[in-house]
Chains A and B, each alone.
Chain A
Amino acid sequence: MSDLYHVSSSPHVRSKDTTSRIMLYVIIALLPTSLFGIYNFGIKALILILVTIASCVASEWIFNKIVHKKNTITDLSAVVTGLLLALNLPATLPWWEAVIGGVFAIVVVKCLFGGLGQNFMNPALGARCFLLIAFAADMTNFVIDSYTGATPLAAMRNGEAVNTMDMLIGRTAGTIGETSAIAILIGAIFLILMGVIDLRIPASYIITFVLFMVLFSGHGLDANYITAQLCGGGLMLGAFFMATDYVTSPITPRGQIVFGICCGILTGLFRTFGANAEGVSFAIILSNLLVPMIEKLTIPRAFGQVKEAKAKEGGK
């Protein structure tokens, strides 16, 4: 007898997908990015990744112990949060600041709102924004090959030329996980093939962003500029791994497209008109806050249901 066969009331169709299984896929998909980050930034990046994951898992365990809740660290979601947070930090960040970030992500953003499935914004991004405001200097201290440099986005903002090929491969300054577009795309393709994410959010996000940049950035249809904007900063990582977070993105198909468009417009706004060169994390957490409203407006019509206005016309 297989475990999938139950004689019971509905649901009768069961899938093998569990939270921990999906989280495991996400971790596997993030491996190329993490490995490239470690190759790019050295042993410091590895230590930072391990410290952040450890602090996330530990704070979830301790929180659940304190409030006498069932322990949920085995669903691996804390590991994913830790890994994503670490990939969003510069490799030079002091380890204790990363620990504070991990604690903030798990305790404040996730557990205080009721744990996995209840958090209103992506924990990793919430913590990144917290750190960005709390330790502004350390969070923007980007070093590569022992040379402190501006990120490609900041360089472009100052009107300097950037090497698009370097940005595709990822040999640039930035946070641990955001530099290599290729490594991120490998992970994203894996997730899409495994059916963990679909293209609605990332595609609508990226297309909206490109349209916005063509219209408003002042560079027009400059392919080099657009490619550099796409590969620079956290856009790829955000679009494929953070905007698609199940908990904080809309559940309705049309809503997901609206959500992607919101993210795209906000990112374009922040990058073009904002004070900083980068705006992906703020764009995504702001869109996270809009999700309940988007879901309410995009409830799909049930089969056979007639719109009220049409029904009235029919009645006439």
Chain B
Amino acid sequence: MNKNVERLYNGLIKENPTFVLMLGMCPTLAVTSSAINGLGMGLSTTVVLVFSNLLISAFRKVIPNGVRMPAFIVIVASLVTMVQFIMNAYTPSLSESLGVYIPLIVVNCIILGRAESYASKNPVIPSIFDGIGMGLGFTFGLTCIGLIRELLGAGQIFGFQILSLEWFTPITIFVMAPGAFLVLACLVAIMNIVRAKMEAKGKPLAAPSGCLSGDCSGCAQSAMCTGRSLSKEGAASAKATAAKNAANAPKTE
């Protein structure tokens, strides 16, 4: 169970797909013009992610290595089609405003990334929790961006007028494409400050999970890896052990 909680924490904060891994940037920038759009996109991705992780993890021993990508895509595409039909039926307005980005969940790199780097190598239960964690992390990121853009660009939160138009002039650039880049950049910058502070305290947030060798060349996860902290950490730990050895050396002699 402990491992499952760790997976949730990992997806939400440590390897947040939006702010740390920088995955799924296309829907992140395109649909977050309001908080409800961000939330809807995030939750539908979460559903697909959880079930695709479940299925891929369950079939991981059956799928031949050579055709694993087509197999993953088939699984993900069937799930996305189901989600799309359900959304068409029950939330038509949301599905209309998300438009083409719902079918595009098929090629969302978070889903393929998790399938490739986690679900295809791990048992079913942790994979499900990994999907929930990553999905909620994505939802959290998208909703944050959507909230800020909607508040600045229209003075609203989830469609309710928070800032009165009597004294507030909506900064319309924030509901347009450039606003998405500006808000995302600011949030990532804040996240980087937090990470730097945590690293300085000795509690690195972004150590990539599952990195065993510390050797990036030939690592299957190199596409997913957050890199920077790894090399730093590796160097730091190497130094630390060297220092320890040096300190211990006279004693042992």
Q: Mark A residues whose CB is within 8 Å of B.
A: 94, 97, 100, 108, 130, 133-136, 138
Contacts and interface: CB of A to CB of B under 8 A. Distances in A.
Contacts, number: 19
A108 B182 CA distance: 9
B169 A133 contact: no
Interface SS, A side: helix
A135 B172 CA distance: 7
B87 to A, nearest CB: 32
A138 B173 contact: no
Nearest to A135: B169
13 contacts: A94-B169, A97-B169, A100-B171, A108-B182, A130-B173, A133-B172, A133-B176, A134-B171, A134-B172, A134-B173, A135-B169, A135-B172, A138-B169
B178 interface: yes
B184 to A, nearest CB: 14
Interface in B166-186: 169, 171-174, 176, 178, 182
Nearest to B186: A108
Interface string B208-225: 000000000000000000
A237 B245 CA distance: 68
B172 A136 contact: yes
A143 B176 CA distance: 28
B187 to A, nearest CB: 15
A120 to B, nearest CB: 15
Nearest to A96: B169
A281 to B, nearest CB: 15
Given A97-B169, A108-B182, A135-B171, 9 more contacts: A94-B169, A130-B178, A133-B172, A133-B173, A133-B178, A134-B171, A134-B173, A135-B169, A135-B172
Interface in B124-171: 169, 171
Contacts of A134: 171-174
A138 to B, nearest CB: 7
A138 B171 CA distance: 11
A138 B172 CA distance: 12
